[in-house]
Structure 1
Amino acid sequence: MALSLDDIRSLFERYGSLAYSGEPVTQLEHALQSGALAEEAGASDELVAAAFLHDLGHLLNLQGETPTQRGVDDLHQYFALPFLRPVLSEGVLEPIRLHVDAKRCLCAIDATYFGQLSADSVRSLQLQGGIFSKEEAEAFLRKPYAEDALCLRKWDDRAKEKDRPTSDLDHYLGVVERMMHRHVTI
């Protein structure tokens, strides 16, 4: 069953106040900050929608606060895709699906990246398969939407700032709604 815009709003209204895995922000604040960082970078509406929705799987597959401390990988990057696929394009879905592997790739190709990860991101990296080998990173970089996923990953890492001003939920739902309409009319 596909998620409607109202379903997405309800998920954020119901669960958006949950803590974002040991970070000083809530799930909603993280989503809003991710979308804001994408907009500030001049990203396309597809990539802004992806940035805003990239962790929606956490709200669909509730595993409690900071599941990585219990050795749980909630596979959030995959969890929302079956619900979003009927209503959104690959340009939104693929960066979401690839954003975890983008972290694994960035650790392999950027010597400074690992040192910038939060404690929870380091824990989740191990649960998600660890740092890519050189060959795995090269294969990842050849995938469609890999560059978008790398951008999304970097915004994801920065979207953990307490009290950072952003546009509101309605603003980003408006971006998602435009992408839903575009997907239906194509």
Structure 2
Amino acid sequence: MNQALPAVDVLAQMFAEQGGNEYLGEPVTQAEHMLQAAACARAAGAPDALIAAALLHDVGHFTGPISGAELMAGTDNRHSHAGADWLAGLGFPEAVTEPVRLHVAAKRYLCAVEPGYFDRLSEASVYTLSVQGGPMSPQEAARFAEGRYAEDAVTLRRWDEAAKEPDALVPDFAHYRPLLEALAAGG
């Protein structure tokens, strides 16, 4: 991956090259999953930064030091943090990076505070939850809920869980290019 390319070109390259990879035991590719999450955000009328966060929430599987395959083998790859840090380095604002950083914590939070949420998780998501620390304790959940980006992260998490439909018809990466370019340029 060429870091000398503009930020959105780097992302487009990742979606084209690594996006076709299997998505952690789900019936979609990694790119299909992220594009579906972004389509959910757009359909909900989310602000541009949250649409971008939905689109980019799993880039840490591409950029982190530990792969998604290793996550499925039992090692937490902290893809949420790796992705958020990497996106910040590309110039994306906190309104994009922090929901990305918190989307795994949001799953742990929802499993702790929302009756029935755990039962709606896919088999793969239940497994990764166990690797990522399991449901939060009451104290962890209270701290999480007080965070500045907690609500956005929870909203993103719901789109994340919904974005696993085989053969869903959603806009491609190019559709989001102007939005991403504006955000990466500080717009």
TM-score over 0.5 for the pair:
yes
- Go from structure 1 to structure 2 and tell me whether the alpha carbon gap of 1:64 and 1:31 turns closer, same or farther (over 3 Å shift): same
Residue identity matched to 2:70:
P
CA–CA distance in structure 2, aligned partners of residues 69 and 58 of structure 1: 11
- SS of equivalent residue, structure 1 residue 94: helix
CA distances 1:99-153 after superposition (whole Å, capped 9, x unpaired): 0000000001111100001111111111111111112111100000100000000
1:19-30 to structure 2, matched below 5 A, reads 19-30=22-33
CA distances 1:148-169 after superposition (whole Å, capped 9, x unpaired): 0000000000100001111111
CA contact (8 A) 1:33 1:166 kept: yes
Tell me the equivalent position of 2:142. Answer: 138
Residue 72 of structure 1 and its aligned partner are, at CA, apart by 1.9
Tell me the number of residue pairs that the alignment of Structure 1 and Structure 2 aligns: 183
Residue 178 of structure 1 and its aligned partner are, at CA, apart by 1.7
TM-score (norm 2): 0.91
CA contact (8 A) 1:107 1:131 kept: yes
1:51-90 to structure 2, matched below 5 A, reads 51-61=54-64, 66-86=69-89, 87-90=91-94
Residue identity matched to 2:45:
G
CA contact (8 A) 1:30 1:160 kept: yes
Tell me the equivalent position of 2:9. Answer: 6
Aligned equivalent of 1:165, options 142, 162, 169: 169
CA contact (8 A) 1:68 1:123 kept: no
1:40-51 to structure 2, matched below 5 A, reads 40-51=43-54
Residue identity matched to 1:127:
V
CA–CA distance in structure 1, aligned partners of residues 40 and 87 of structure 2: 22
CA–CA distance in structure 2, aligned partners of residues 31 and 100 of structure 1: 15
- SS of equivalent residue, structure 2 residue 23: coil
Deviates more, 1:86-95 or 1:153-162: 86-95
Tell me the equivalent position of 2:19. Answer: 16
- SS of equivalent residue, structure 1 residue 85: helix
What is the root-mean-square deviation in Å for CA atoms of aligned residues? 1.8
- SS of equivalent residue, structure 1 residue 160: coil
CA–CA distance in structure 2, aligned partners of residues 169 and 62 of structure 1: 24
CA contact (8 A) 1:68 1:120 kept: no
Tell me the equivalent position of 1:118. Answer: 122
For structure 1, the residue ranges without an aligned partner over 5 or more in a row are none
CA contact (8 A) 2:53 2:100 kept: yes
- Go from structure 1 to structure 2 and tell me whether the alpha carbon gap of 1:25 and 1:142 turns closer, same or farther (over 3 Å shift): same
- Go from structure 1 to structure 2 and tell me whether the alpha carbon gap of 1:100 and 1:137 turns closer, same or farther (over 3 Å shift): same
